[in-house]
Chains A and B, each alone.
Chain A
Amino acid sequence: MLVKKRMTRDPVTVSPAQSLADALRLTRARRIRHLPVVLDGEVVGIVSDRDVRLAMPSPLTESDDRRVAFLEGTAISAIMRGDVATIGGNDTVEDAAKLMRRRRIGALPVVDAHGRLLGIITESDVLDAFVEILGPPGQSSRIEVALPDRPGELARAMRVIGEEQGVNVCSLMVPPAAAGERRMAIVQVGTIDPRPVIEALESAGFEVGWPSLETDLRLGGGA
């Protein structure tokens, strides 16, 4: 999944010369947290609502009037982060997630080869993508198939479901496991009655998990 598919295009931006008051107003009015700072089309910084709040004098020491005056009289360039982490539109959402985690930040401006702003991708966009990938792909039942760590096991399981049983595999996830350990494939099968599929998988030697009071494969290992 590419960043350009999940980013917000034409994000709200500010210029370095605008005031902190402008920045705060924009984040409130548009219900956003991050503002790329752009000069001549190029990203030169980023500022968040939190950055502005942290820069503000404390209400315990300063009057409201003076706080307002501070916000109006201070340029964004004074507090923005200049060393901005950016990402390309053709990078993957995983790249974006890793970069945000490594730098401990919540948003990345998306830029082209010339550093021009294309969009912005935030933690929320990454979470939405994650939820969408994990979410059920339309009408299907979920089963879990334990795959021994051997070449051909996934293909064999899919042949049982797709070819032998003629049931559509609507989505498939195989989270990684340690070498030598079996992996738990999460399979969404396009049927209201997965019993024949489960029986066929079991008679082909696979352990299959779905809700059971006796054995709960999910608790035994894997995802």
Chain B
Amino acid sequence: MAVAGDGPAAGGWRVSRVSAALVWDPAVIGYKFRPDHPFNPRRLELTLSLIEALGLVDEKHARVVAPRMATEAELLAVHSREYVEAVKRFSAGGDASDAHRWGLGTDDTPIFAGMHEVTSLVTGGSIRAAELVMSGQVKRAFNVCGGLHHAHRDRASGFCVYSDLAAAIAWIRREHGGRVLYIDYDAHHGDGPQGIFYEDPDVMTLSLHESGRYLFPGTGFVDELGEGDGYGYSLNVPLEPFTEDDSWLDIHRKLIPEVMEAYRPDVVVLQSGCDGHALDPLTHLRATTRLAEETTRIVCEAADAVCGGRVVATGGGGYAVWEVVPRAWTLVWAALSGQEVPSRIPREWLERWQGEAPVLLPEMLRDRDEDHKPVPRRDEITATNRRTLESLRRQALPLIRGYGLGF
């Protein structure tokens, strides 16, 4: 069982309780394309059931809060009216002959009945998370079903219909002003929020992902720095295929606090896709569960230092539905809310799900070192990633207003 209160945790971090909200409503599992589609909402049910089995939600410090529907105005803040009208028409079973023009009706992002409504709920969940954090009711909030970071202003893409992330950021900007730092360590480039805020210096996007040389969406290179007033406010770290925890976390530890200090945002919006895990079938990265847990802590610690600890987190990609996603996002939630977790997964959880699982479920919450097969080209990969980081720091950091002036 989880233990409340202070105490040392794995990796020498001190764990202390932080007020947090988990945004959840079982209705969000309606965001489902096809039974055999890789973006499988079963991963959300598994995550919630693991969080509950570990006692990581309660009535006080770590509450479950229901999402709300995003309003039309909130969608139109980040999507074109034509696009939203098209999604509504497809959602209601109307003529879909122009679906491809909007990036819909593809194998990746098929049309399904009610897609407008359920995506509005997913989007409203991220806005709800932002409301809870910005009103001071909680320090951190986690909309586990959110993180649709490939949705563009007028185009669906890569499993994403509406941009819950951009809508939450736009909501923060409209209601509270200030600056928003968007951090995205999903294995795929966060091209949606980057594109939507490409010319906006009040929203900085930082995406760390497997290089787009091979991986979808094929963007996210260091030289994508923003445009116009937003030049210098889009940051990208394309990682080599087969990057492992140490190299990746080394970059997070150096870059995230540095960017936070330089940009001094008022809140962080964090996309926590866990498809960089070695077992993920869609990518070539080699992280373990340590990446999700430690990155969340790095971000929270930097947020505590710079912006009152405010972090609005979402899920994202994650296609090793049974072996990885529930564990990774449980660790994310525990880190956000400052709760300790035991090393073993409760027996009743394993018994409940093993029958349905097509694979043997891991018994430990965190990956064990001996399960990780080391990558032979590690030194070369680490050196290339370090060069990429230095190239980004050299090009981008001096462009941030006030950088180096000590305020």
Contacts and interface: CB of A to CB of B under 8 A. Distances in A.
Contact of A192 (B213, B216, B284, B377): B216
Binding site secondary structure of chain B: loop
A141 B215 contact: yes
B142 interface: no
A167 B108 CA distance: 9
Contacts of A67: none
B218 interface: yes
Contacts of B242: 211, 213
Contacts, number: 66
A180 interface: no
Given A166-B107, A193-B38, A211-B242, A139 B157 contact: yes
A155 B282 CA distance: 27
Given A139-B157, A213-B242, A213-B376, A192 B214 contact: no
B248 interface: no
B interface bracket (residues with beta carbon within 8 Å of A): 20 to 34
A211 B214 contact: yes
Contact of A139 (B158, B241, B284, B376): B158
B106 A211 contact: no
Nearest to B159: A192
Interface in A45-104: none
A85 B242 CA distance: 49
A140 interface: yes
B150 interface: yes
A141 B188 CA distance: 11
A6 interface: no
B150 A167 contact: no
A195 B284 CA distance: 12
Given A166-B107, A195-B282, A136 B219 contact: yes
Interface in A185-210: 188, 190-196, 210
A182 interface: no
A140 B213 CA distance: 10
A139 B212 CA distance: 10
Contact of B216 (A137, A141, A168): A141
A193 B108 contact: yes
Interface in B92-110: 106-108
A136 B213 CA distance: 8
Contacts of A192: 108, 150, 157-159, 188, 216-217, 282
Find the residue from A165, A168, A192, A210 having the highest chain B CB count within 10 A.
A192
Given A166-B107, A192-B282, A213-B377, A139 B213 contact: no
Given A139-B157, A139-B158, A142-B213, A191 B108 contact: yes
A138 interface: yes
Interface string A139-171: 111110000000000000000000001111000
Nearest to B218: A136
Interface string A99-132: 0000000000000000000000000000000000
A195 B218 CA distance: 16
B191 interface: yes
A141 B216 CA distance: 4
B308 interface: no
B217 A138 contact: yes
Given A139-B218, A142-B214, 12 more contacts: A137-B218, A139-B217, A141-B215, A167-B107, A168-B106, A191-B108, A192-B108, A192-B216, A192-B217, A193-B107, A193-B108, A212-B284
Interface of A: 136-143, 165-168, 188, 190-196, 210-213
Interface of B: 38, 106-108, 150, 157-159, 188, 191, 212-219, 241-242, 281-282, 284, 375-377
28 contacts: A136-B212, A136-B217, A138-B218, A139-B216, A140-B216, A140-B217, A141-B214, A141-B215, A141-B218, A142-B218, A166-B107, A167-B107, A168-B106, A192-B108, A192-B158, A192-B188, A192-B216, A192-B282, A193-B38, A193-B216, A193-B282, A194-B216, A196-B107, A211-B241, A211-B242, A213-B242, A213-B375, A213-B376
